[in-house]
Amino acid sequence: MRLGQLSLRSQLLLGILLPVLLGVLANTVSLYRQALRAADTAYDRTLLASAKSIGEQLEVSGAGDAARVRATVPYSALEAFEADNRSRMFFKVSGFQGEMVSGFEDLPAWRGKLPDKGPYAALVDFYDDVYREQPVRVAVLLQPVASVEGRGVATVQVAETLELRQTLARQILVDTLWRQAALLAVLVGVVLWVVQRATRPVRELSAQLRGRAENDLSPIAAADAPRELQPLVDATNQVMGRLAHLLAHQKRFVRDTAHQLRTPLAVLKTQLQSALRGDVEPVQALHEINHTVDRATQLANQMLALAKVEQLRQQGDAPVLDWAEIARAVALDLGALIAQRQLDFEIATVPAPVRGHEWALRELTRNLLHNAIKLCREGGTLGMQLVSDGRTAALTIADSGPGLAPELRERLFQPFAAGERGGGSGLGLAICHEIVGSLGGSLSLDNRLAGGRVVGLDATVRVPLADNPTR
């Protein structure tokens, strides 16, 4: 299992305890080695004291080349090792020429050299050797010896078997391991408690989410969550908010679609039954059925357009397009309808780069222009103007219709409630309002007055330019 697949608590415990364990192990080894060095230093000092005790009792007999060393080994030289029967001590005193003077003759002779800078104020060297098939620690002391008859340097070797040192080393190791184990146990306990306490908000948050109903998209209440969790909680609440909005939109869409399609389908069924019974002429029945189908098709297309607006809103950033080109293309598409009503049409545009999907901009412009064409009296005037102030682009479509009644203004952008003239479904302005909201703009409808009376309606859409977003 890879580290990323572990739980957060496991990763924290592994990430904290593993370095701690390695640190404790390294510290244990270091402490053990320091303790051994301290013990070796203490025992080496005892060996040196024994060698000095022997060296202090050396005497010289004879003179010149006939000078010889005499040794009298005092009991005090071996007294330091009497307290422990596990260690044994051997010594050897060699004369000026290396001849055997006293002690154990088979003790190997010293073949080393004095250290350049030793820890003691004496001509002494310490080394490890094997004597009688046992490892020993040896202290060698070069002891100057002088008398009125002669002088020279004698060699004093004192060797000690390692039983006592090994016993002490094992005791030091056990004591060190016990102390480090106790320290490690305390550290593990503290780390477990801290990690358990630190990850408790995560577990509580998980439990809160698991215990929710399937359709519960309300914000997470986690006011006591740590600061590190707040960005996650906020992001989750934002996602839930978007999901709740999308779910509500889908529910509303399904409800409105079922309600609105029920009427034309019922009318279509009635017309078919009437035609089958022969209540109306076949040609007239076909015309009525065709009109009903057209109304149902228009309603279905507008419902799909309303749903598509929400779909585009969820897609994130849109490309940058020139609204002027789209507006002129829409005007060209509706040119036949403008000519049919013999309208005096005038269009003026400037380049207007805005961020939006082409379908949304085209549908917005088409709905507004189509509504204006239907509201204009035959032979009237119709104008489309697209201007820019450097921050926003404003599209104004001015018709010569009867204007907007005051009682319609409050519910103007509600689906199926606009009360359009010309037998519309009431979805055109609702679609425009949703598109403008997705573009971060605004839509206003204002009566145009002349001489104190209404002479038309101005539909104005303002959308931020691509270089000056306001959302």
CATH number for the domain that contains residue 88: 3.30.450
pTM of the model: 0.48
> 360: how many CB neighbours lie within 10 A of its CB?
23
388-423 pLDDT, tens digit each: 998 999 999 999 988 887 777 666 666 555 444 444
Q: Are 147 and 84 in a shared domain?
A: yes
What is the band of 306 on the pLDDT scale with cuts at 50, 70, 90? Answer: low
The answer to whether position 215 is within a domain reads no
**Over 80: is that where the pLDDT of 246 sits?**
no
Tokens 């909680």 -> residue: 233
**Over 70: is that where the pLDDT of 117 sits?**
yes
Q: Where are the strands (E) in 121-278, listed by range?
A: 124-131, 134-146, 151-161
pLDDT at 55: 83
The answer to whether position 203 is within a domain reads no
Q: Which helix (H) or strand (E) holds 204?
A: helix 200-210
Q: Are 164 and 263 in a shared domain?
A: no
pLDDT at 419: 47
Domain around 446: 320-464
Q: Are 155 and 291 in a shared domain?
A: no
Q: Are 403 and 326 in a shared domain?
A: yes
- Out of 295, 313, 331, a domain closes at 313
What is the band of 2 on the pLDDT scale with cuts at 50, 70, 90? Answer: low
Q: Are 42 and 165 in a shared domain?
A: yes
CATH number for the domain that contains residue 293: 1.10.287
Residue 349 to residue 385: CA distance in whole angstroms: 6
pLDDT at 122: 79
140-153 pLDDT, tens digit each: 998 888 776 667 88
Q: Which helix (H) or strand (E) holds 2?
A: none
Q: Are 292 and 328 in a shared domain?
A: no
Residue 139 to residue 145: CA distance in whole angstroms: 18
CATH number for the domain that contains residue 338: 3.30.565.10
